[in-house]
Chains A and B, each alone.
Chain A
Amino acid sequence: MTLGSSRPSGEALRRLAWRLLLCALALQAATGALLMTVYSPGTTSAWGSVLAIERDFPAGRLIRGLHHFGSQALIILSASYVALLFVTGRRLGTPARHWRAAVLVPVLLTASCVTGWLLPWDERGYWGVQVPVNLVGLVPLAGERLRSFLLGGDIFGQYTLTRFHAWHVVWLPACILAIVRFAGHRWSRGTNGCSSNSANQTDGGFNAAVVTSVLALYVAFLVAAAWLRPLSPDPSLTAPVDPAARNYPARPEWTFLWLFQWLKMFHGEWGERIGALFIPALGLAALLAWPSLTRRWRPSVSLGTARILTAVFAIAVVFLTYRAIAEDRVGGTAGAPTPFAAENNDRTGDRSVTSAKRSSENAPDSAARPQAKERCPEEIRATRLADQRREAARRAERALFLADRLGIPFEGPLKLLQEDPLSQGPRLFARHCSTCHRYDGHDGLGHIPPEPAAASDLAGFGGSAWIRGFLSNPNASRYFGLILGEGGEPGHTRMAEWRQEQDDLAFTSEDRAALERRLDSAAAFLASQGLRELSDEDLKWVTDEKALRLRETAASAALLQDGRSYFFEECNRCHAYEGQRTGTTRAPEMGGYGGAAWIARMIANPANDELYRATGREKAIMPSFETRLSADERLLIARWLMLTREDFQD
């Protein structure tokens, strides 16, 4: 045989690549077997067990990192091996069995990757798996049945996890093993006779040292990737998944981004089937049948075709991957809250005009389509994506912090986030409070609501800076300025009147300075009120440093005799302290003011006499949330406001 003589190392290169592939597979099996000793498939235990691998087990990060990056490397290795066989082709006389096996390996590895993503039961894995699994449901005739077989039910749940675990650790590896055995059998005997006789000595052109070095390089590369993980864009573990939330920007791993981008090109039910199922299936079938298809072709023709196809495919993959990344980046300026408000106000008018026109002309819906298309720039989507990514990163950080600080409860890690005031407070605030209130100018989650603010900005509420600012100018827009009564008149004016009186009484600059000093001390005294009932139940949600700071603030405030005496002399005439007041005018209770319990009472029912009254002057303008929010939810908002107030002390 002289076919290989023009490039004598072709055969050896294949051998080397095949060996590297086998070693990479063995490495996956080895690291996988180690991970299995800790991993626990269960919707409430999976996330915690992966966290334990990462955090508690020596070399856990290394082992999981090797498994993680090994899987990505394997995809690339196996695909490259197919390409290598393809472009060197019949020239080196690859047995058809080996070729078919080599084509099937990347397919099975893809299935292994997808099943593996789900196992940590974290947001990235869970949402990343949705799309491929839903694509399975599109297989004609048997799709939905196949999908529910793979999932162990119609929706993702406990049995999905146990099944995916089984597919990932037993079924798919067994298939891969069988195929590799099937392929390697004929290969090692060398049906082409090109150089297999000398394999033992020189390993087909490379000596053993070269093979060992390449393997060592591969492993070194993986180890480096596993250790350097913080530098790569893949964080260790995202937040535990809340299947009902659907707020995670799902993207596949970078090795599959091109497929993700490919899918965007196919629209509609049948488009989807063609793009996601038929074309790939046809391509796979053509590859499997390639040796028989081209048997009659001249070697130079079949080889040339193979090289062109490989080049086109490689360029397409690179291009699609680039597009997928680029489209997500357009205008993705992370950081600033999205300024939705002003834009939206213009649009609302515009929209109602359009629809009024539509209904009067009885135009079909399709008429509105091109318009909506113009109004949906990629930019908005990418900005929103950046927002979602930031929120997801925050959730992940929070989940890891809570798991560290409190441990994972038996009910699962999601419970930690669901009971966490710092996670749920802003969410509830945005949903229920932000139509009137603001939090540092936004809705608690960083967005600016379209409705104009109609009540105070509660960032830092109850803290000395907030109270002092309020005492300086009660009618500032951050405080009572935006609150209007039913007739549109200013809602709460007494504090402003009181402040005016104080100013009027301060004739000299000395008087004024004294007044400011007394207000400083009064603010400090009132700020201490919110912290007087601080409990471990409150403080367990924040870092030790923050807990210490809150405790110190509470303790030092107890010494504020000035503020206390000023309060009882002056403020207590109207504002009750534990139900007692010295005057006759009624104003809200100040005992425990700004604390979680006080805020929760205020949310439940502002017009409860103790705070505001239901009728008359200075009556409650805020509605009661007793029936709209549960006691737990009210406490979540209240605790969040109390625990974050020290962040706004200027």
Chain B
Amino acid sequence: MTRRDALRGLAMAFHTAWVGLMVWGSAAFLGGPRRTGRGEGGDAWKRVARLEDLPRERPVLCDVRASRSDGFWAAVPQRIGAVWVRRVEPDSTNGRAVAEGRVDGSEGAASGSDAHSSVRAWQSICPHLGCGIEFAPSTGGFSCPCHASTFNSDGVQSFGPSPRDMDALECRVIDADSGERWVEVRYREFETGVAARIERGPT
């Protein structure tokens, strides 16, 4: 091995090393930040409405507020999403809600502290491609203004391109210290466009 070969080898090693470093560095850099926005735990129950304020059987779009940060910004309390909440009154429709809860057995059915009132909640993001779902009182069901998926008042798909029903969210009614009854929701977002419900990202 001559000195020239050795030098050439050394140079090659050096170049390989720095190119490798650059490739690794670029890939790592583009992979995303080491820490992203932080906020309240995704599992926390979020209060969305007082039970009394909800009309019977008509879904209401309720804001979900939480403290969340984006990138390097400090966390600030903000509206992080919205959920459709429907108060189900068994009294008004002869035990309908109880029966219904058994029929579809969906996750969204949650009974309050007593069996006479319950609420159901759905994510307002369309499972198709992420537009905001609307409620149309004239049809008594939900619909997406983008690609015209429609759902009935139980969030079950009736027409359109959506691959699944509306995403039901866990919800419950709790008695607050003040004697008021509040509806709480576990807010989660799901991947769009797929038939399975796969939770997306940290909330």
Contacts and interface: CB of A to CB of B under 8 A. Distances in A.
A148 B32 contact: yes
B131 A154 contact: no
Contacts of A157: 37, 70-71
A142 interface: no
By DSSP majority rule, is chain B's interface helix, strand, loop, or mixed?
A: loop
B55 interface: yes
A229 to B, nearest CB: 26
B143 A381 contact: yes
A69 interface: no
B72 to A, nearest CB: 7
B112 interface: no
Contact of B140 (A43, A138, A249, A347): A347
A153 interface: yes
A399 to B, nearest CB: 17
Q: Which of B33, B124, B140: most chain A Cβ within 10 A?
A: B140
A451 B169 CA distance: 27
A388 interface: yes
A134 B126 CA distance: 11
Contact of B145 (A355, A376, A384): A384
Interface in A220-268: 242, 244-251, 260, 263-268
A137 B191 contact: yes
Contact of A347 (B70, B81, B138): B138
A376 B156 contact: no
B137 A356 contact: no
B156 A368 contact: yes
Contacts of B92: 352
A269 interface: yes
Contact of A130 (B130, B143, B156): B130
B125 A246 contact: yes
A322 interface: no
Interface in A246-304: 246-251, 260, 263-269, 271-272
Interface stretch (A31-39, A358-366, A528-536): A358-366
B82 A137 contact: no
**Interface majority SS (helix, strand, loop, mixed), chain A:** helix
A420 to B, nearest CB: 15
Given A130-B130, A153-B32, A159 B71 contact: yes
A502 interface: no
Nearest to A264: B147
B137 A365 contact: no
A54 interface: no
Contact of A365 (B103, B161, B163, B194): B103
Given A271-B161, A356-B93, A368-B152, A376 B139 contact: yes
Nearest to B159: A373
A628 B96 contact: no
A180 B30 CA distance: 26
Contact of B152 (A340, A372, A377, A451): A372
B194 A375 contact: no
Contacts of A185: none
A370 B180 CA distance: 40
Interface stretch (B5-13, B15-23, B113-121, B195-203): B195-203
Contacts, number: 206
Given A351-B153, A355-B93, A380 B193 contact: no
Interface in A125-161: 127, 130-131, 134-135, 137-138, 144, 148-149, 152-155, 157-159
A264 B33 contact: no
Contact of B159 (A360, A376, A431, A627): A376
Contacts of A144: 191, 200
Interface in B73-123: 73, 78-82, 92-96, 99-100, 103-104
A158 B193 contact: no
B130 A131 contact: yes
A373 B157 CA distance: 9
A463 B29 CA distance: 61
A246 B193 contact: no
B41 interface: no
B103 A384 contact: no
B134 to A, nearest CB: 6
A178 B80 CA distance: 41
A130 B130 CA distance: 7
A152 B158 contact: no
B156 A369 contact: yes
A577 B146 CA distance: 55
A473 interface: no
B161 A268 contact: yes
B25 interface: no
Contacts of B164: 269
A537 interface: no
Given A131-B129, A158-B71, A246-B125, A359 B150 contact: no
B58 A628 contact: no
Interface string A170-194: 0000000000000000000000000
A149 B28 CA distance: 11
Contacts of B124: 246
Given A153-B201, A155-B189, A627-B180, A356 B94 contact: yes
A135 B193 contact: yes
B36 interface: yes
A613 B193 CA distance: 55
B60 A431 contact: yes
Nearest to B94: A356
Nearest to B93: A352
Given A135-B129, A149-B30, A375 B161 contact: no
B159 A381 contact: no
A344 interface: yes
Interface string B30-60: 1111001100000000000010010101101
B33 A159 contact: yes
15 contacts: A127-B131, A131-B129, A245-B79, A246-B131, A265-B161, A267-B162, A355-B93, A359-B95, A362-B103, A368-B152, A369-B156, A369-B157, A376-B158, A381-B148, A385-B145
Interface of A: 43, 127, 130-131, 134-135, 137-138, 144, 148-149, 152-155, 157-159, 242, 244-251, 260, 263-269, 271-272, 327, 338, 340, 343-344, 347-348, 350-352, 355-356, 358-360, 362, 365, 368-373, 375-378, 380-381, 384-385, 388, 431-432, 435, 450-451, 627-628
Given A153-B36, A359-B103, 4 more contacts: A244-B80, A246-B132, A250-B146, A344-B138
Nearest 7 interchain pairs by C-beta: A246-B132, A154-B201, A158-B71, A359-B99, A372-B158, A269-B163, A157-B70
